[in-house]
Amino acid sequence: MIIDLSSVPQTIDMLHAGLAVSSVALLAIAIARKPKTVEKIVEKPVEKIVEVEKPVEKIVEVEKVVEVEKVVEKVVEVESKLKTASTDSALQLLSLMQQEARLIDFLNEDVSAFSDEEVGAAARVIHGGGKKVLDEYLTLAPVRTEEEETQVTILKASMHSKSA
């Protein structure tokens, strides 16, 4: 089947005739319709200015003189009996723990984003580095020689003798 779009049809079939008649009928209906006027009622709130008169109260000012006793506190500085220690040694230990065990980096890290296995692996590295610092730079010894969980009684007199 060859379709030639440049040729004009010689006959009009029933389908095309029906389409032409319906198009003309719809065009006539559209032209014949009167445009409807739409009225819309819009209520706007009206603001009313209402002035209310308030009765004026008479204010009476009374001046009352009250004598006040002035108390002056004297600040007395008392020297502490405890010797204040320098923080240099603590900072040195913290620096060593950072160098060998990366302790400060670990403590500043948000570990909630990591799995338990990752945190455990990091803890092993920190533990190894911290143990190295303790073994190289510190000598740890127990303060008391008793077994653990043994009750110890401290006498009042012994406390005063050590601080003097």
Position 82 in a domain: no
Within 10 angstroms of residue 100's Cβ, the number of other Cβ atoms is 19
Residues 6+ apart with CB under 8 A from 22: none
Is 115 domain-assigned? yes
Percent helix, percent strand, percent coil in the chain, to nearest 5: 45, 0, 55
As for how many domains the chain has, the answer is 1
Structural domain includes residue 5: no
Q: How would you write the pLDDT of the chain (164 residues) with one tens digit per residue?
A: 787 778 776 777 888 888 889 999 999 888 888 777 777 777 777 777 777 676 666 666 767 777 777 777 777 777 766 566 677 888 898 999 999 989 999 999 999 999 999 999 999 999 999 999 999 988 888 888 888 888 888 888 755 555 44
Whether residue 81 is contained in a domain is answered as no
Query: Would 30 be classed as within a structural domain?
Result: no
Domain range spanning residue 125?
A: 90-142
Does the CA dihedral 104-109-111-115 come out positive or negative? negative
The answer to whether residue 28 is domain-embedded is no
Q: Is 136 a member of any domain?
A: yes
